[in-house]
Amino acid sequence: MRPRSTAARRTPPTGMRRPSLYLAVAAAGAVAVHVLAGPEPAAQAEAAPTGTVSVADALGLTASARPVDPARDLAPLEELAATRSSREDAQVAAQQAQAAADQAEVDRLAAEAEATAAAERAAAEEEAAAKAAAEAAAAAQQQTQQTQQTQQAAPQRGGTGAAAAAPAGGVARISNSTGSVKPVVQAAADAVVSAVPGAGRITLGGTRASAADPGGHPSGLALDYMVMTDAALGDAIVEYHRAHWAELGVDYLIWEQRMLSSPGGSWKAMADRGSGTANHYDHVHVNYRG
């Protein structure tokens, strides 16, 4: 066993440890002096400058020294209220004007619809009346033909023949529904049946209340010469009226969907009314002056 070394157990001298101890003590003393000598937080707060900042200063506004004038200060508000009231009045007026315009348009459309319906009813009535007259004319023509055949088969006495179909004394037979025709119309019809061959054997349609033209059939100033399919007879009746326009008192003629308003004038085409009778292909319509 080795003996312990006395050098390893030797401690350093006391004089070598004292400088470190002194340095630590000095540092602790400096800290204590700083704490004891420094100003207190309350003193620092009291030393800080004090002052108040108003809301107006913060917003950059300055107080006005002028006196308060309620009328002047309230004028902008009154102008704003007046402008708003005027705008509301203008809006109400515009709405009322629009409502009136809408109602006027509705009334106009209703009036147009009523006028169209009335015209259609009148046209339908006229067509129905003309169709009835055509049927009556066809029946009369058939009866006339039968009479002529009977007369031709019977013994001839005193010159009795086809000429007997014409009215005696040249007086035209006119079919009237609402009273007699005007004298000028009767005189014209008498002249036609006396002068135009074949005109005395056809039906003449006079007054009727269902016609659309108030100045024609309803007033007794018009005649329908129902020639049916005999277009040559229709042309002859037209030419006789043109040749004696003034003395017969003719106002206008309608024949084969055309109108003639003067003896030397030109025919004017008419709108298609849908049927041969309505378009005057089976009869000559003559309006006379009252």
Q: Which range (52-61, 176-185, 209-218, 251-260) has the least confidence?
A: 52-61
How far is the C-alpha of 129 from the C-alpha of 117, rounded, in Å? 18
Is residue 188 a part of any domain in this protein? yes
Cα first-last separation, the chain: 178
Count the domains in the chain: 1
Is residue 49 a part of any domain in this protein? no
Q: Are 270 and 281 in contact (CB under 8 A)?
A: no
Is residue 181 a part of any domain in this protein? yes
250 is in which domain, residue-wise? 126-150+169-288
Helix-strand-coil split of the chain, %, nearest 5: 55, 10, 35
pLDDT tens-place string over residues 166-177: 344 479 999 999
Q: Return the pLDDT at 180.
A: 94
Q: Return the pLDDT at 163.
A: 35
**For all residues of the chain together, what is the average pLDDT?**
78
Q: Are 208 and 170 in contact (CB under 8 A)?
A: no
Split at pLDDT 50, 70, 90, the class of 278 is: very high
Average pLDDT of 189-201?
Answer: 96
pLDDT surpassing 80 at residue 10: no
Paired tokens of 110: 């209703």
Is residue 267 a part of any domain in this protein? yes
Paired tokens of 118: 């009335």
CB neighbour burial string for 137-149, b if at least 16 within 10 angstroms, e if fewer = beebbeebeeeee
pLDDT surpassing 90 at residue 210: no
The β-bridge relationship of strands 258-260 and 268-269 is antiparallel
Q: Return the pLDDT at 207.
A: 94
Is residue 136 a part of any domain in this protein? yes
Is residue 276 a part of any domain in this protein? yes
pLDDT tens-place string over residues 58-98: 666 565 556 667 777 777 877 888 888 888 888 898 888 88
Q: Return the pLDDT at 151.
A: 46
- Containing H/E element for 260? strand 258-260
Paired tokens of 130: 């003309």
Q: Return the pLDDT at 220.
A: 95
Is residue 245 a part of any domain in this protein? yes
- Cβ burial of 94 (10 Å; 0-12, 13-18, 19+) is exposed
Is residue 158 a part of any domain in this protein? no
Q: Fill in the DSSP letter of residue 217.
A: T
Q: Are 279 and 270 in contact (CB under 8 A)?
A: yes
